[in-house]
A = this chain, B = another copy of it.
Amino acid sequence: MNDMDTHATEPAADPAEDDAPWLTAREQRLWRAHLEVSKLLEYQLSRELQQHDLAINDYEILVVLSESPDRRMRMTDLATATLQSKSRLSHQITRMESAGLVLRQECPGDRRGLFAHLTEQGWQTLRKVAPDHVRSVRAHFIDRFEDDQLDALFEALAPIAEHLRGLRGRG
């Protein structure tokens, strides 16, 4: 049950014994818990979405599009929103297009551009799948916090998300 990690368990055998910015035991257990939860949660949700023939990335795109004006979004914006490369998104939209979930649509003002547009079938698929997915998110994550933990956790994570979002642009 180990996980990717920065290990600071065996002082004498640590990869760099001295003057390294090592993690304390308290820090390390948090870091490992975070990694474990991230990984296992993604695994679990992915497994459950699979019963609807959706990858986790497919679901993400359905959600983002469903929340966009006219249920569509420019390819580049969608790539940014979902943290994918343009290339990867292009392939993925091709796949989802074959599955009938989305459609590529010309962009009126800009002949370079394309919209990825949620089809009716894509919308209905999301309607069908979302409740199960939310149930899982609750069962495996949200409902497992106390009421005050829920807000405290958000307060802790929000600035980190912002920090990381900031890094994303430059490097």
Residues A37 and B161 in contact in the complex (CB < 8 Å), given A153-B153, A156-B153, A167-B44? yes
CB pair A160 B141 closer than 8 Å: yes
A41 cross-chain contacts in B, Cβ below 8 A: 160, 164
A131 at the interface (CB under 8 A from B): yes
Distance, CA A135 to CA B157, complexed state (A): 19
A104 at the interface (CB under 8 A from B): no
CB pair B134 A6 closer than 8 Å: yes
| Residues of A11-30 whose CB lies within 8 A of B | 13-16, 20-23, 26-27, 29-30
User: How many copies of this chain does one complex carry?
Assistant: 2
A53 cross-chain contacts in B, Cβ below 8 A: none
Which listed residue, B26, B60, B126, B154, touches A33 by the CB 8 Å rule? B154
**Chain B proximity of A6: nearest CB distance (Å):** 5
A110 at the interface (CB under 8 A from B): no
CB pair A141 B31 closer than 8 Å: yes
Distance, CA A163 to CA B33, complexed state (A): 12
A112 at the interface (CB under 8 A from B): no
Which listed residue, B33, B34, B39, B157, touches A30 by the CB 8 Å rule? B157
**Chain B proximity of A49: nearest CB distance (Å):** 10
Distance, CA A160 to CA B163, complexed state (A): 25
Which listed residue, B20, B130, B149, touches A16 by the CB 8 Å rule? B130
